[in-house]
C-alpha cells in the first residue's frame, strides 16, 4: 500500500444533532479526527455512536449541524466522500457461501477494479490481514475473528484514506478482539491509515489515541485515554454498605467530600485513597461491608462525567436505542 499524505484534519464534526421523530439521538456533538490517528467513540447502547457513524458514512442526513470529511460536507457531497473512505459495518456484509478471495473480488468490481490490478490488490489485502493462506476457504467455515479480518480487507481494498468501523469486534472473544486491535494498529503505523471506530468495550477504547465519550446523545468527554483518567485526579474508592444514602451523607458532612451512590455502593474520588480509606473505616465502624481502592479507569471517567454506570438500567433497556431500530449505540 502506498504511503498517504492526507490533510491534517480528516473529520470535522460541528454541532451535530439528529432526531428520530421526537427522540433526540445526538445533541450538538463536536469533535475532530486528525490524520494518522485511531479515534474511538465510546459509549453504551443509546449513547449515539451508531448515529454518528451513519452520518459520517453518508447513510443518514443530520437534523442539524455539519460533518465534513476531507473538507467535503458529507450531506452535500456524499459521492466524493465515499470514494475516499472504507467502511466496516457492525453487521457482516460478506457472502458466506463465497470464499474470502471471491468476496474481495466482487468488492473490487464495485470500485471499477479489474484484471491484474484487482488480483494484486486482493492478494495484498488478504496478506495484510493474515489470510493469504486461507483465501480460498468458504467464509462460513471461518471463525468470527477471521471473518472480521475479511471485512477489514474489503474495507481497505480501494486504498481509502480513512477507515470507519462500527462496533467492529462485537461478538468476538477477548483474544480475537486483541488480535483485531493489533491489526488496526499495524494499519495505522505501517500504512498511514486513519481510523475512526465505535465501541462499547473499555479495553478497545484504551488502545485508541483519542476518545469521544458519548452518553444519551451528548459528548461528555474528549481526549486521550490517559488524559481523561488524569482528570479524576486521585484514586477511586468504592464502599459496599447496606445503607448507601446514609453513609453518603455522613461522609459528605464529616469530610466535605462529594461521594455518590452507584447501585448498592458509595463511590468517591480522593488523593492517596489508601490513606483516606483508613479514616473512613475508623469514622464509620461497622457500616462498611467491603471496600476497593484503585486507579481510575475509563469506566470511572464515564461515571465521573455522567453520575451513573456505563451500563445503566436505562441503557440496558434501550437495546433499540436512540440510533433507531435494530442498531446499537
Query: Does the pLDDT of residue 143 top 70, yes or no?
Result: yes
Burial of 39 (0-12, 13-18, 19+ CB in 10 A): buried
Distance, in Å, from the CA atom of 172 to the CA atom of 181, rounded to the nearest integer, reads 12
pLDDT band at residue 131 under the 50/70/90 scheme: very high
Q: What domains, with CATH codes, occur in the chain?
A: 9-227 (3.40.50.300), 229-317 (3.30.70)
Residue 187 has a pLDDT of 87
End-to-end, the C-alpha distance of the chain in Å comes to 32
Q: Which three cell numbers stand for residue 23?
A: 427522540
Burial of 202 (0-12, 13-18, 19+ CB in 10 A): middle
Q: Which three cell numbers stand for residue 258?
A: 462529594
Distance, in Å, from the CA atom of 24 to the CA atom of 61, rounded to the nearest integer, reads 14
Query: Does the pLDDT of residue 312 top 60, yes or no?
Result: no
Query: Does the pLDDT of residue 325 top 70, yes or no?
Result: no
Considering Cα of 294, then 296, then 300, then 304, what sign does the dihedral take?
Answer: positive
Please give the C-alpha separations between residue 206 and each of 1, 51, 224, 278, in angstroms, as whole numbers. 27, 22, 9, 31
Residue 265 has a pLDDT of 96
Could you report the per-residue pLDDT of 210-248, keeping only the tens digit for each?
999 999 999 999 999 999 999 998 899 999 999 999 999
Query: Does the pLDDT of residue 327 top 80, yes or no?
Result: no
Could you report the per-residue pLDDT of 34-44, keeping only the tens digit for each?
999 999 999 99
Q: Which three cell numbers stand for residue 87?
A: 467502511
Could you report the per-residue pLDDT of 156-199, keeping only the tens digit for each?
999 898 999 999 888 888 888 888 899 899 889 988 899 999 99
Q: How high does pLDDT run on average in the chain? A: 90
Query: Does the pLDDT of residue 95 top 70, yes or no?
Result: yes
Residue 7 has a pLDDT of 52
Instruction: Count Cβ atoms below 10 Å from residue 200 Cβ, excluding itself.
Output: 21
Task: Work out the average pLDDT over 149-154.
Answer: 92
Share of the chain above pLDDT 70, in %: 92
Query: Does the pLDDT of residue 302 top 70, yes or no?
Result: yes
Amino acid at each position: 500500500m502506498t504511503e498517504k499524505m492526507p490533510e491534517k484534519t480528516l473529520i470535522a464534526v460541528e454541532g451535530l444533532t439528529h432526531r428520530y421523530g421526537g427522540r433526540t439521538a445526538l445533541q450538538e456533538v463536536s469533535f475532530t479526527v486528525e490524520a494518522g490517528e485511531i479515534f474511538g467513540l465510546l459509549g453504551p447502547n443509546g449513547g449515539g455512536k451508531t448515529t454518528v457513524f451513519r452520518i459520517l458514512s453518508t447513510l443518514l442526513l443530520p437534523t442539524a449541524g455539519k460533518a465534513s470529511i476531507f473538507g467535503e460536507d458529507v450531506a452535500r457531497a456524499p459521492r466524493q466522500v465515499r470514494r475516499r473512505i472504507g467502511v466496516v459495518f457492525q453487521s457482516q456484509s460478506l457472502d458466506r457461501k463465497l470464499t474470502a478471495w471471491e468476496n474481495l473480488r466482487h468488492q473490487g468490481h464495485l470500485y471499477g477494479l479489474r484484471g491484474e490490478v484487482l488480483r494484486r490488490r486482493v492478494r495484498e489485502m488478504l496478506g495484510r490481514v493474515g489470510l493469504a493462506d486461507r483465501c480460498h476457504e468458504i467464509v462460513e467455515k471461518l471463525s468470527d475473528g477471521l471473518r472480521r479480518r475479511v471485512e477489514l480487507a474489503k474495507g481497505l481494498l480501494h486504498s481509502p484514506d480513512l477507515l470507519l468501523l462500527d462496533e467492529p469486534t462485537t461478538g468476538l472473544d477477548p483474544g480475537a478482539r486483541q488480535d483485531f486491535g493489533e491489526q488496526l494498529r499495524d494499519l495505522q503505523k505501517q500504512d498511514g491509515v486513519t481510523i475512526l471506530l465505535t465501541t462499547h468495550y473499555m479495553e478497545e477504547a484504551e488502545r485508541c489515541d483519542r476518545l469521544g465519550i458519548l452518553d444519551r446523545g451528548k459528548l461528555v468527554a474528549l481526549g486521550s485515554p490517559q488524559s481523561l483518567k488524569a482528570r479524576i485526579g486521585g484514586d477511586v474508592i468504592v464502599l459496599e454498605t447496606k445503607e448507601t444514602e446514609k453513609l453518603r451523607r455522613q461522609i459528605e458532612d464529616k469530610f466535605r467530600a462529594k461521594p455518590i451512590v452507584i447501585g448498592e455502593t458509595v463511590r468517591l474520588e480522593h488523593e492517596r485513597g489508601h490513606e483516606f480509606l483508613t479514616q473512613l473505616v475508623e469514622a464509620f465502624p461497622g457500616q462498611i461491608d467491603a471496600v476497593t481502592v484503585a486507579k481510575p479507569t475509563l469506566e470511572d471517567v464515564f461515571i465521573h462525567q455522567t453520575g451513573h454506570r456505563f451500563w445503566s438500567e436505562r441503557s440496558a433497556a434501550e437495546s433499540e436505542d436512540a440510533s433507531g431500530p435494530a442498531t446499537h449505540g
